[in-house]
């Protein structure tokens, strides 16, 4: 599960970076800080928070 979350997070960061520099302009997505950027950043942040909560829960159990 951890490896899957890391891969998803890495893909989100890559998409966020590509969207920021303007690679997706031919598809109608503007470059810069757009909804794509904030959406990817939000999901990546949720993954980080989820993993942190899960690690704290595992530490309490041990």
Asked whether residue 10 carries a pLDDT value surpassing 90, the answer given is yes
Overall size of the chain counted in residues: 62
Confidence bin at 15 (pLDDT 50/70/90): very high
Instruction: Give Cα separations from 33 to 5, 28, 49, 53, 57 (angstroms).
Output: 24, 14, 22, 28, 35
Report if pTM > 0.75.
Answer: yes
Asked whether residue 60 carries a pLDDT value surpassing 80, the answer given is yes
pLDDT tens string 38-52: 999 999 999 999 999
Higher pLDDT, 29 or 43: 43
């Amino acid at each position: 599960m951890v490896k899957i979350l890391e891969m998803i997070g890495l893909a989100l960061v890559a998409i966020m970076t590509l969207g920021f520099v303007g690679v997706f302009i031919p598809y109608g997505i503007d470059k810069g800080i757009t909804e794509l950027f904030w959406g990817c950043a939000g999901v990546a942040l949720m993954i980080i928070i989820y993993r942190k909560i899960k690690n704290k829960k595992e530490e309490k159990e041990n």
